Structure 1
């Protein structure tokens, strides 16, 4: 963070989340332990570190709700992270609707993390749209990695297949994006699709090794340079993507 001039970061658990824990009781115990440890870690760096909590999606719905209640006692959490498998049948599975309603009611944004990167993100959110998830839970807020995959490019095609509320209303009302695309062209498309005020800088650290030898992390540098080339370093849009949007959306204060 110091090397790249990053003032504040939001931490989250990486893949495969807790999906590999088949025993629901064990998953609940592990989720609460991880969330408590993240709270303890972030509290060592006041105003610099926050976190997204993890959920035990192999547990029963009441048990998952108990984890959400526990998470609400941890002041440095700013949302939740989960895999795209949901309860085992994807995020368009009707059985997950009660959880989405709870997360929306609690105003907890959800970062679904994929194993299939942009392709899985595109497929999963398309299925959610076609299944009417966003009609059923209009307050649901998703943070999509990799600038939403192909969604900015395929949005109009997606909404041709079923009569739902406009895909553009979903993108601009339910979807938040990171800016991890390395280039100004896809970043511009992402900003136009959801609104530049809903795009946030991301690092992917430490998931991929850096090729740089001077101590800087490739992805941080490339995404910063892409934002500068797209918006201009002195523009308010650049300031928003590089930090102000996340501070506002996730209340990083």
Structure 2
């Protein structure tokens, strides 16, 4: 298998029928044209671009537009839908479980069901729930449980929670999503979560948002404010280097050199962002991945496939058994 075939798409969204029906009439992501989707559409795009398997996830707003039992039921229905797709196409699809946060107790219950019963490949989280980012103490027990299980967590940006945030009448996914990823990682860093959970297998979207560009600047926290001395991570750059980064919407000459310098090629993963980015962008992103001159073919193969399979052993096992 060549370095540019057999790709594993770690950032690939699904819109299950029940989920689409529940969203109908609601604004999912402000200013974003909500796409249509079917498994057949995903498979066709995958086949055209040398993508062997795609790990499905739910994008913003997850199940946060529902409350209480309705949110729990929708998370369960989505996760069971993912499991059914994996049974039908075991070598083509994986799934990141959606959890009914911010209800941590319900999320922990659904986590156990999704991993132990449905045997999904990992967990999908959003950057924030309500006004709380992932570094909030309310979420640490959940993250600790995920870490103990050793499963991968794909983190997708959410529409910023601040209602008074000026977005210039532009879709938040155009640029705010990158800042949301940065905000949630900052909360994890400066609340000490990444130091306490160094084995947390966190995948950030879109090349880590602005993290590669800001990495050195972020180390200046205690210099700017002495009150941050006790909160600063033990090794901020090292912590960022332990994270994993998908290259959805980011396989460009601008993003890839900085990301590679920060993360190394063993922590970068291929992603398409289909169908919220159309098939034409999958072509663009795949071509950018294949053409980047800063990687050897061995490194390109790792980014396109083997890094993901190392993080997702259940998917790796299904592919090996085929």
> 1:7 aligns to what SS in structure 2?
strand
| TM-score, normalization by structure 1 | 0.89
From 203, 211, 215, the equivalent of 1:155 is 215
- The 8 Å contact of residues 148 and 177 in structure 1, kept in 2 or not, is answered as yes
- In structure 2, distance between residues paired with 1:68 and 1:176: 21
- The 8 Å contact of residues 39 and 74 in structure 1, kept in 2 or not, is answered as no
Q: Could you tell me which residue of structure 1 aligns to residue 127 of structure 2?
A: 84
Structure 2 vs 1, CA of residues 193 and 232 (structure 1 numbering), >3 Å: closer, same or farther?
closer
Q: Could you tell me which residue of structure 2 aligns to residue 65 of structure 1?
A: 108
1:86 is displaced (CA, Å) by: 3.5
- In structure 2, distance between residues paired with 1:202 and 1:3: 15
Deviations 1:128-175 (A, max 9, x none): 2122121222222211111001111111111221432212211222x1
Q: Could you tell me which residue of structure 2 aligns to residue 213 of structure 1?
A: none
- The 8 Å contact of residues 81 and 111 in structure 1, kept in 2 or not, is answered as yes
Give 1:99-248 correspondences, 5 Å limit: 99-114=142-157, 115=159, 116-161=176-221, 162=228, 163-173=232-242, 175-180=243-248, 181-209=250-278, 217-231=279-293, 235-248=297-310
From 137, 140, 143, the equivalent of 1:97 is 140
Structure 2 vs 1, CA of residues 233 and 187 (structure 1 numbering), >3 Å: closer, same or farther?
closer
Corresponding residue pairs, total: 243
> 1:65 aligns to what SS in structure 2?
helix
- In structure 2, distance between residues paired with 1:165 and 1:218: 42
> 2:155 aligns to what SS in structure 1?
strand
Structure with the greater relative contact order (CA < 8 A, sep ≥ 6): 1 or 2? Answer: 2
Structure 2 vs 1, CA of residues 137 and 234 (structure 1 numbering), >3 Å: closer, same or farther?
closer
Q: Could you tell me which residue of structure 1 aligns to residue 99 of structure 2?
A: 55
- In structure 1, distance between residues paired with 2:199 and 2:191: 16
- The 8 Å contact of residues 185 and 230 in structure 1, kept in 2 or not, is answered as no
- The 8 Å contact of residues 145 and 177 in structure 1, kept in 2 or not, is answered as yes
- In structure 2, distance between residues paired with 1:14 and 1:80: 12
1:234 is displaced (CA, Å) by: 6.6
- In structure 2, distance between residues paired with 1:74 and 1:205: 28
Which segment is superposed worse, 94-103 or 76-85?
76-85
- In structure 2, distance between residues paired with 1:230 and 1:166: 29
Which segment is superposed worse, 28-37 or 219-228?
219-228
> 2:128 aligns to what SS in structure 1?
coil
1:74 is displaced (CA, Å) by: 4.3
1:184 is displaced (CA, Å) by: 2.8
> 2:47 aligns to what SS in structure 1?
coil
Unaligned regions of 5+ residues in structure 1, if any?
Answer: 210-216
| TM-score, normalization by structure 2 | 0.71
- The 8 Å contact of residues 19 and 83 in structure 1, kept in 2 or not, is answered as no
1:22 paired with 2:67, answer yes
> 2:285 aligns to what SS in structure 1?
helix
Unaligned regions of 5+ residues in structure 2, if any?
Answer: 1-45, 160-175, 222-227, 317-322
- In structure 2, distance between residues paired with 1:137 and 1:65: 17
- The 8 Å contact of residues 39 and 51 in structure 1, kept in 2 or not, is answered as yes
